[in-house]
Structure 1
Amino acid sequence: MGRAKEIIVKVINSKVANAFVKKHHYSGKVVNMSNLHFGCFLDNQLHGVMSYGSPMDKRNVLPLVDSGENDINKRWNEMLELNRMAFDDYLPKYSESRCIAISIRMIKKNAPQIKWILSYSDATQCGDGTIYRASGFKLTQINKNGTIYQLANGEIVAKRGDSKYDFNGAKALEGFQNRYILLIDKSCKIVPEILDFKMIDELGAGMYKGEKITLQERRET
């Protein structure tokens, strides 16, 4: 674990978190739904941010986990999405999974109503979820990504119904989006099938640091 044990994780304000994410996240963008931000400090400097919040379409994702509560309105505050994670190159190996584990423990202690965490990996531009797998998340979906476009000006954006962007001449980027779930409350049950990680290779969804590469190839290097 090395110096990763020296990292201090604490809650920070959105202004500091968003500035870091814009600088260090591959997309250069923040998620407006994020409202809980953890900063990762080493040698008294901020070197990582994890931002949690509600998913964009919360009502559709709540049924992904069975918590024993049938009334969906009573389940509204049972989950969070880890919707941005950005680290610079200063942090040592294993820092990301350690920081996620610490943030989850802090959520469990201070927000016991949170029973599970949702996150997605962008295997179109970034990676297939190596950090999530190392942190104990379960893979529950591998989808071809049909929403990421490169605009005529070179900017890469997600295409949605209410998009403010001009998609004339835009190029769709081929790739995948993988969905991961982590249960904090172990009495809950993940509803969709839990997929074997080897399916990432079987479907051609492998990616690491923006490069298309299989899990098997990474194990062999």
Structure 2
Amino acid sequence: MDEIVRKSSLMGELVIKQVSKELAREMIIKNHYSHKWNNGGFGKYNFGIFRQGDDRCLGVAVYGHMKNPNAKIFTHPNPKAWMCELNRMWIDDELGKNAETILIAASIKLLRKVDPDCVAIQSFADGRLGCGTIYKASNFRYYGFHYTRFLVNQRTGEVVHEQLFTNSTSLSGYIRNNVGYLLKEFKIYTVRTYRYIYPLDKKFQFCKSEKPYPEYQKGMDEVKWERDIKKIKERVKALIDAIPE
């Protein structure tokens, strides 16, 4: 198995290598602030960071498919070319923040070896935490931001993406969240989501122009979300009635 060893004056010798999807999933659900894992797209390639001589995995970088893998948002002469996404990353506080850049740089180098058809890496910075300073430090390019709507359940504290209120693919999530919405359990916020891309090939061309790195800021703004209450009730009732007995 390929691995990369990096020496650090503060952290000693660090080893970065591929780890199983099961280990990465377990660590992300347990430790990442989202505590969530998308079984459909996450974890095609997973890389862990270890201290030399220590079997404990102290962080993972999870690379998988984009939310919409068929979106035509870049060009490349290789017909097999694809852009992966850095879906999740978590580092144990034991190592410190400098370990993030070490893990990103080493995992990118390993990713190039295991999948030559992967021509770029996309990742998004959650504006609730910042604007993606770690990506700037890792030489990702910045391509602007968009607003994402999140809802916070005031009863349970759960944070839910707006898509789970409009996409009924996940039946239980759609019904449960919309019932909570009807009961006014949620506060609604908009958050800036910053897009960063790391090209792995000079022939990769993204569909939008690169922008200067953003100024630092973080947080979220409470907003109203005007929805058709009657249609929500009708849709939820129809889905409940269609559940087999």
TM above 0.5, yes or no, is yes
Instruction: Detail structure 1 runs of 4+ shifted over 2 Å in the superposition.
Output: 1-5
User: Are the counterparts in 2 of residues 137 and 180 from structure 1 also a CA contact under 8 Å?
Assistant: yes
1:176 counterpart (192, 202, 216): 192
The 1-side partners of 2:142 and 2:18 are apart by: 27
- In structure 2, the partner of 1:113 is 117
Alignment of 1:1-221 (within 5 A): 1-4=8-11, 6-32=13-39, 33-34=41-42, 35-42=44-51, 44=54, 45-60=56-71, 62-63=72-73, 65-68=74-77, 74-75=79-80, 77-124=81-128, 126-146=129-149, 148-152=150-154, 153-160=156-163, 161-162=167-168, 164=173, 165-167=176-178, 168=181, 169=184, 170-197=186-213, 199-200=214-215, 206-207=217-218
Cα deviation per residue 1:23-44 (whole Å; 9 max; x = unaligned)?
2111111232112111111251
The 1-side partners of 2:141 and 2:11 are apart by: 24
The 2-side partners of 1:8 and 1:40 are apart by: 6
User: Are the counterparts in 2 of residues 4 and 94 from structure 1 also a CA contact under 8 Å?
Assistant: no
- In structure 2, the partner of 1:217 is none
Number of aligned residue pairs: give it.
Answer: 196
The 2-side partners of 1:117 and 1:16 are apart by: 22
User: Unpaired runs of 5+ in structure 2?
Assistant: 1-7, 222-245
The 2-side partners of 1:108 and 1:68 are apart by: 17
Scaled by the length of structure 2, the TM-score of the pair is: 0.73
Cα deviation per residue 1:133-176 (whole Å; 9 max; x = unaligned)?
11111111211222x11124221111212351414122212321
The 2-side partners of 1:186 and 1:136 are apart by: 15
User: Are the counterparts in 2 of residues 151 and 166 from structure 1 also a CA contact under 8 Å?
Assistant: no
* Secondary structure, counterpart of 1:108 in structure 2: helix
Which region of structure 1 is more displaced relative to structure 2, 110-119 or 151-160? Answer: 151-160
The 1-side partners of 2:220 and 2:153 are apart by: 21
Offset of 1:13 from its aligned partner? 1.0
The 2-side partners of 1:5 and 1:142 are apart by: 37
Offset of 1:18 from its aligned partner? 1.1
Going from structure 1 to structure 2, the CA distance change for 1:93 and 1:166 (only over 3 Å counts) comes to closer
User: Are the counterparts in 2 of residues 97 and 131 from structure 1 also a CA contact under 8 Å?
Assistant: yes
Instruction: Report percent identity of matched pairs.
Output: 28
Residue identity in the other structure for 1:39: G
Cα deviation per residue 1:100-155 (whole Å; 9 max; x = unaligned)?
1111111112211111001111113x232111111111111211222x11124221
The 2-side partners of 1:158 and 1:211 are apart by: 13
User: Are the counterparts in 2 of residues 7 and 41 from structure 1 also a CA contact under 8 Å?
Assistant: yes
Whichever of the two has the greater Rg, that structure is 2
The 2-side partners of 1:88 and 1:181 are apart by: 25
Scaled by the length of structure 1, the TM-score of the pair is: 0.80
User: Are the counterparts in 1 of residues 16 and 47 from structure 2 also a CA contact under 8 Å?
Assistant: yes
User: Are the counterparts in 2 of residues 123 and 177 from structure 1 also a CA contact under 8 Å?
Assistant: yes
The 1-side partners of 2:117 and 2:192 are apart by: 32
